[in-house]
Amino acid sequence: MSAISPPQSLPSFSSKSPSKTLTPTPNSTRSCNRIHCELKKSSAAPQKWTIDCVSSTDPIHIILKPPNSALLPSPMDSSLKNSKRVCLFYCSEMRDLAERIASESDAIELRSITWRTFADGFPNLFISNAQGVRGQHVAFLASFSSPGVIFEQLSIVYALPRLFVSSFTLILPFFPTGTSERMEDEGDVATAFTLARILSNIPISMGGPASLVIFDIHALQERFYFGDNVLPCFESGIPLLLNRLQSLPDSDNITIAFPDDGAWKRFHKQLQHFPMVVCAKVREGDQRIVRIKEGDPKGRHVVIVDDLVQSGGTLIECQKVLAKHGATKISAYVTHGIFPNKSWQRFNHDKGGNPENGMAYFWITDSCPETVKQVKNKPPFEVISLSAAIASALHI
Amino acid sequence: MERSKKKVLLFYCVEAEDLARKVAAQSNLIQLQSINWRNFADGFPNLFIKNAHDIRGQHVAFLGSFSSPSVIFEQLSVIYALPMLFCASFSVVLPFFPTGSFERIEEEGDVATAFTLARMLSNTPISRGGPTSLVIYDIHALQERFYFGDSILPVFESGIPLLKERLQQLPESDKIVVAFPDDGAWKRFHKLLDHFPMVICNKVREGDKRIVRIKEGNPAGCHVVIVDDLVQSGGTLIECQKVLAAQGAAKVSAYVTHGVFPKKSWERFVHKNDNGKAFAHFWISDSCPLTVEAITGKAPFEVLSLARSISDALQI
């Protein structure tokens, strides 16, 4: 994807460019320049995708945001709901997403925290203008990208509800440890249980239990790990994917593939109107091989869907099997691009005709900010922002 | 009537292994157990408690050490998991409770991280033996005992008895004076040391500066031992030593239970040829294992081990 420097060149979303109009509308009151892009296809109503260039942090940073009408309530509802002002605090690594969320709505106001460290390594934190949150709805946008950052953010999460706020919401787009939630052997330590317990212990505020917003939690059972004093709110990034798929020129040739039954269980209901392929890992002697269990990818643009990606091994094996069975284009979507140790580097861009070696698109959301920084402007990666979904979750 | 002693299975975090071995060496009833401490590629812990079945019906303890925020999550995962393995009782020994010096909210907006840590520990699941016991040595602020919720039983111990034992071994044991760097230290410790003559220092404002002065007591001609719960940069101790020496102390030593010494600040105290021997002895306990490793064998430092005290506390 070409870099964007308003108002000159245009990004191209697909190889067959529909006609586009570009209206740069730099907004001087906010930190991002917003460029509205209209994609006209012969068969569908024009879709307005927004591209944000967040100039305060990165000069060029392309984040796709779906048309507002898809996710936010209708104008009449929103005028009532917009009267709920929300003070949004955030951890340092989530600053970009926080700014995008605040730009979604006048009712969301960014607040700041001073994050320092004492000499012994423990946090020295100060919430600016703490008295100003009394009687306000308050939210904190967290990111537990590693165990080391949990304690400082948790200190804020435990402190904010006790500042006489009228409600408290914790937004944790990606809930880590989710893959280690089973105890198969007595002695396994399910760290997902530890994290859920820590979050369940958020103090109650004047508005009752804290709300906890999580996107695409790994295991469906994990919703029961949370105690009575928090109200988990499980959201999904799949509606954002749906929007994006509908704007593709070959949207009528898309088939969804799931790498395993777990992914199918999690997502098939939200993707019902697409044909599906389900893969499975089958044991052959010592090896485990990916096979297609159901469905036919032949001649299709197949989009592999899962909640998260770590090393990428599973996705690559699925890709090979799908290509072998005749998929003409292969893309992937994961809500959470964890990619430890830069494993995203394994994914090549297929510019056309080469589905066994590259992907046409690899969509991730901005739930994992460190990855977003690394993959921006690197095809096949495209980042779809959760900001609109989070902004509307804050108005519940 | 003496209570019968109980066998205890002792788990421990990686950095506290040496202390755990010393504790187990104190008594046949204490048996060391092991945990696999690994990490997944994403940095999150991949933990396995070995021989988990053997825990059933046994008294279990975990020796932790929160030397930095990054080790808290993995140890907390074990602390939350052990009581749920049908043990007869569960104790956590956390010799040094960090964040303790930042527990006040002076301005609305200050975040008392001691409250966060106390809350996380208070949320330890209840085991068959009831609430978990939590053994802490010389917690920084006396009020912090009230930060813990009802489902945990804090046990507040002190390293001062170790100091008293050590002082009795010194040749000039009849000319020892205990000095406190401020009123806080006096409040915490004077009752345990009341058979020693005392000196109390405090910081007085002179213009822009804060200067250490002697508030009460006379150090002249004595071996003065400055006592406090912990040391960070060491600045306070050094200023006290200067004032005490200026007022005629024959020798100055220091005792702190917790040698936190961030960023190797212990180097200011090491005996080198040029700076003479400002401190004759510097006693610390082994509550901060990373420091113990760094200062072992370096005069004037001497480590007084908590092992015996911990093994007794495990019998509670």
Domain boundaries, chain A: 20-71, 82-235, 239-385
Is the Cβ pair B113, A125 closer than 8 Å?
Answer: yes
- CATH topology classification for A239-385: Rossmann fold (3.40.50)
Q: Pick B120's closest partner by Cβ from A127, A180, A198.
A: A198
Interface pTM, i.e. ipTM: 0.89
Residue given tokens 């409770």 in the structure block: B97
Assess A310–B contact: CB distance below 8 Å, yes or no: yes
Q: Which of the pair, B243 or A83, is modelled with greater confidence? A: B243
DSSP B101: T
Exposure string over A134-172, b if 16+ CB within 10 A, otherwise e: eebbbbbbbbbbbbbbbbbbbbbbbbbbebebbbbbbbb
Which residues in B lie closer than 8 A to residue A190 (C-beta atoms)?
81
| Interface with A, mutate which of B82, B116, B147 (most A CBs under 10 A) | B116
A142 vs B166: CA distance, rounded Å: 49
Q: Pick A156's closest partner by Cβ from B68, B72, B111.
A: B111
Assess A185–B contact: CB distance below 8 Å, yes or no: yes
Right CATH number for A82-235 from 3.30.1330.10, 3.40.50.2020, 1.10.3720.10, 3.90.1150.10? 3.40.50.2020
Is the Cβ pair B102, A118 closer than 8 Å?
Answer: yes
> How many C-beta atoms lie closer than 10 Å to residue A239's C-beta?
15
Q: Pick A177's closest partner by Cβ from B44, B107, B120.
A: B44
Is the Cβ pair A119, B77 closer than 8 Å?
Answer: no
Per-chain mean pLDDT for chain A = 83
Q: Are A82-235 and A239-385 the same fold in CATH?
A: yes
B252 vs B244: CA distance, rounded Å: 8
Please give the pLDDT value at position B93: 98
The answer to whether the bond into B300 is cis (omega within 30° of 0) is: yes
Which amino acid belongs to residue A70?
A
Which amino acid belongs to residue A153?
Q
A199 closest CA partner among A213, A181, A220: A213
What is chain B's alpha carbon radius of gyration, rounded to the nearest angstrom?
A: 21
pLDDT digit string (tens) for A159-184? Answer: 999 999 999 999 999 999 987 666 67
Closest residue in chain B to residue A124, using alpha carbons only: B111
A38 vs A67: CA distance, rounded Å: 10
A330 vs A354: CA distance, rounded Å: 9
- How do the pLDDT tens digits run along chain B, 316 residues long? 556 789 999 999 999 999 999 999 999 999 999 999 999 999 999 999 999 999 999 999 999 999 999 999 999 999 999 999 999 999 999 999 999 876 556 788 889 899 899 999 999 999 999 999 999 999 988 676 778 888 899 999 999 999 999 999 998 666 899 999 999 899 999 999 988 999 999 988 888 887 899 999 999 999 999 999 999 999 999 999 999 999 999 999 999 999 999 999 999 999 876 656 789 999 999 999 999 999 999 989 999 999 999 999 998 7
Residues 6+ apart with CB under 8 A from A313: none
Assess A229–B contact: CB distance below 8 Å, yes or no: no
CB–CB of A107/A82 below 8 Å? yes
